[in-house]
């Protein structure tokens, strides 16, 4: 293991994809994000589109070129522009704007928190220097958009307080539960994805913080928790011995697609 790891070392590990559902559910558990998704997003109907877009954004920021970062930043900003609530909403319905720095901070926080949880499950605890560097660099997920650098908690201890306090404050209503249910059923996903959804749901529910799991109304108990531990304990050593080229295949695939897309955006030579 390198003496000091960075975002470029951590983000490409495909073991982190086991936490994709966890990150998404934590995001939509924030009422403003949940209602924004419910009213403006088609990710429940087209889950691969949402996943591909998110992964392309993360991989460009972690391992892409400046031009690729600009490309995904502009694509995300275009997608976010119409995602805002209309004035005069019904009482009790949360207002939202996808360009809100506070919401972008929460999205970045869920991705970082989930990434470190899964990375350390596969490879063991990060050393302090690596943990600090990875934490600082994951802020790019927000600062590349509208989140100012000063909004990212100053250190990992402050970050943990922020996440714990936010999770404790989450309130999931029937609208957001409906979004979560549609996501975990994935009825419009490819067959291979639907076949894996029972396992994905099990892992997603088990990885959620207890308070968030209870807000969604998911059943969980010690027997399920032990089963999840055994599953991850069995998967981690197998994953570790895979060649890096295999472990990082999703990253290479998404960056290759992004580079092909970037080429299509260039004007034709005169």
Q: What is the pLDDT of residues 177-231, one digit of tens each?
A: 999 999 998 887 788 888 999 999 999 999 999 999 999 999 999 999 999 999 9
Q: What is the pLDDT of residues 128-140, one digit of tens each?
A: 999 999 999 999 9
Domain ranges of the chain: 7-265
- Position with higher pLDDT, 53 vs 221: 221
**Res 49: pLDDT:** 76
Work out the average pLDDT over 148-170: 98
Model's pTM, two decimal places? 0.93
Nearest-angstrom CA–CA distance, 116 and 98: 25
């Amino acid at each position: 293991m390198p003496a000091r790891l960075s975002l470029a070392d951590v983000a490409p590990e495909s073991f982190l994809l086991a936490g994709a559902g966890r990150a998404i559910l934590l995001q939509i558990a924030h009422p403003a994000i949940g209602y924004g998704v419910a009213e403006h997003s088609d990710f429940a109907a087209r889950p691969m589109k949402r996943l591909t877009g998110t992964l392309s954004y993360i991989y460009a920021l972690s391992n892409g070129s400046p031009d690729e970062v600009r490309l995904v930043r502009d694509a995300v900003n275009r997608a976010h522009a119409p995602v805002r609530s209309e004035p005069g909403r019904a009482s009790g319905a949360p207002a939202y704007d996808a360009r809100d720095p506070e919401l972008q901070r929460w999205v970045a926080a869920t991705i970082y928190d989930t990434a470190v949880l899964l990375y350390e499950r596969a490879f063991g605890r990060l050393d302090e220097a690596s943990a600090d560097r990875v934490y600082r660099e994951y802020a790019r997920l927000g600062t590349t958009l509208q989140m100012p650098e000063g909004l990212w908690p100053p250190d990992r201890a402050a970050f943990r307080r922020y996440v714990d306090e936010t999770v404790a404050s989450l309130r999931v209503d029937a609208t957001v539960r409906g979004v979560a249910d549609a996501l975990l059923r994935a009825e419009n996903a490819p067959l291979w994805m639907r076949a894996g959804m029972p396992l994905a749901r099990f892992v997603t529910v088990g990885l959620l913080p207890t308070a968030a799991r209870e807000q969604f109304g998911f059943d969980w108990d010690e027997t399920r928790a032990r089963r999840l531990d055994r599953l991850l304990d069995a998967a981690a050593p197998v994953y570790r011995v895979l060649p890096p080229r295999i472990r990082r295949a999703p990253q290479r695939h998404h960056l290759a697609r992004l580079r092909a897309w970037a080429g299509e955006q260039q004007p034709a030579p005169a």
